[in-house]
Amino acid sequence: MEKARVLARLERKLNRDKASVLTDAEVRLLAAEVRALFGPTFAEVFGKSSSRLENTVRWLSLKARCEQARAACGMSLKEAALALKVPKYRLAAIEAGTFSELKPDVSRQYFRFLGMEPWVRRWSRANRDLAKRAGIAPDVRA
Task: Spell out the per-residue pLDDT of the chain, length 142, in tens.
Answer: 688 888 889 899 999 999 999 999 899 988 888 888 887 776 666 665 567 889 999 999 999 999 999 999 999 999 999 999 999 999 999 999 998 899 999 999 999 999 999 999 999 999 999 999 999 875 544 3
- The per-residue b/e assignment along 93-125, b for 16 or more CB within 10 angstroms, e otherwise, is bbbebeeeebbeebbbbbbebbebeebbbebbe
Q: What is the pLDDT of residue 119?
A: 95
Listed in sequence order, the residues at least 6 apart from 31 whose beta carbon sits closer than 8 Å to its beta carbon are 50, 53, 54, 57
pLDDT of residue 142: 38
Q: What is the pTM of this model?
A: 0.85
| Residues 6/11/17/23 CA torsion (nearest 10 deg) | 30
